[in-house]
Structure 1
């Protein structure tokens, strides 16, 4: 968006000394309106005719889901689609027994073209733990 600057630092607003309770959705809305209301307005206008993809990357429990929820709250559920890799992996793992006995399993095995072998991907899924991160190749 030409002509718009979104500085990463310096979010203090001159003349604004009020404190906001960010755990209250109404106060959160007032907070964002006071801090970045114009920018939000411009982004909403941009999203009327355009699309935008954002990836939140960070360590486990670093706030990616929280930020995604804030974006959804600000821009609306019709504008934001949140895909959590962790939720996706947990769901697939939880449904694996039934899936592995279905025709879709055979189709996946036949069509699979990953960075690691199919058997290695399955082993990675089934032996995953909360102590060790999944390899990037598995996620891809």
Structure 2
């Protein structure tokens, strides 16, 4: 098999750096209550920088996951990977590569759903908001980056 040219490491770096910035911004926005009582005062950021960085982390986690699944699948199955798995769900690709851990498969499904909802947003009327899914971007970004780091380690160990 010939070597493959990939930017996967760049996609992962973008996701990890965006998550680190989202976490930093989120923490900087929290201040202890001035009266010393439990809890925090959270400063509103009208530019929503932490949210934007979280979106970047989620999107690039998905891009990275697609890239490493393609690389590992191509090395293991050659052209059959592209023919049979290119348009499959993350979960199906992971199973084909020997990852059957239900927790990881559920997390991959969650990343797929969250990323699709963000990338292909369908605006909802405010009176119908309870019917739509809701995600906390910073939480999803952290879960997304952790997932792809875990999968990358498992695939590297299986290679």
TM-score, normalised to structure 1, is 0.26
Say which structure is richer in helix.
2
Q: Which has the larger radius of gyration?
A: 1
Larger RCO, structures 1/2 (Cα 8 Å, 6+ apart): 2
